[in-house]
Amino acid sequence: MNQVLDKIYETQLVEDIEGNLINPFPTSTPYDIGTLFQQLIKQHNFNRTLEVGMAYGLSSMFICQAHQDKGLGSHIAIDPFQSSEWKSVGLLNVNKAGLSEYFHFYEEFSYQVLPRLLNQGNKIDFAFIDGSHHFDYTLVDFFYVDKLLEVGGYVVFDDIWMPGIRKALYYILKNRMYELVKNPTSSSIPKRIGRFMKRFLQNPLETNYSGIKSLPDNICVLKKIADESEDNRPWDFYRSF
């Protein structure tokens, strides 16, 4: 894989510029999810990737490593708090891992950067939405990601244990042209049952739309199945979610 990533998962530690050791979990992507991203990116030859929320750079490194393995690709990461909150450890890690040539970074809020990327005519094949976890910010991230994403592209949402993230997913699956992608998982049966119970107990009346609450991992992968030009919703279209 990559020696820097290997060492982080082995020691469960990252290092800042002064040599201080920090535990990057649970903020950062678990190993099995990082490798799932790599499989998806390689399998579908997704060369243009984007991530909202970088923190210690673990998901960025998995994605950039997939580009390096393919020999082609470019990854955009957005995080307004990289230097203030994360002591630039994410940028340091990408650099240490030798992945800088595949990487572009914006230290701004996603709601500032995404419209600019759209105006510049950018397109993407894969996005990971893992920034602000509030419902409204997540939906705004999705709104722009949708406009940037090619048909057939994937968008991954992290932290579906949070009701606000699930609500955004229900909106998308009921109102927009996206379908759920089910992936192989390494989560054990007790872990899967625990996750379902936690999601169920948060709101027993919440409909398990598309089986989101029963997904085995803490992420949800959606595939874009139609183009904006095929968005022929009547002007007053709305399906409750």
Ligand X SMILES: C[S@@+](CC[C@H](N)C(=O)[O-])C[C@H]1O[C@@H](n2cnc3c(N)ncnc32)[C@H](O)[C@@H]1O
Binding string, residues 7-36; x marks residues near ligand X by CB under 6 A:
--------------------xxx-------
Rounded Cα distance between 187 and 32, Å, is 9
Site string for ligand X, 173-212 (x = CB under 6 A): ----------------------------------------
Pick one of 109, 135, 196, 209: the residue that binds ligand X (CB under 6 A).
109
Smallest distance, ligand X to C-beta of residue 91, A: 12
Q: What's the closest the beta carbon of residue 238 comes to ligand X, in angstroms?
A: 26
Q: Which of residues 119-178 bind ligand X (CB under 6 A)?
A: 130-132, 137
- Axis-axis angle for helices 58-70, 89-96 (nearest 10): 30
Query: Cβ 234 to ligand X, closest distance in Å?
Result: 32
Smallest separation (angstroms) from ligand X to the CB of 48: 18
Q: Which is nearer to ligand X, 152 or 163 (CB)?
A: 163
How far apart are the C-alpha atoms of 239 and 224, rounded to whole Å? 18
Q: Is 4 one of the binding residues for ligand X (CB under 6 A)?
A: no
Residue 22: CB minimum distance to ligand X, A: 13
Build a one-symbol-per-residue string for 41-80: x at contacts with ligand X by CB under 6 A, - elsewhere.
Answer: ----------xxxxxx-xx------------------xxx
Give me the least distance between CB of 138 and ligand X, in Å please.
10
Residues of this chain that interact with ligand X (CB under 6 A) are 27-29, 51-56, 58-59, 78-81, 85-86, 109-110, 130-132, 137
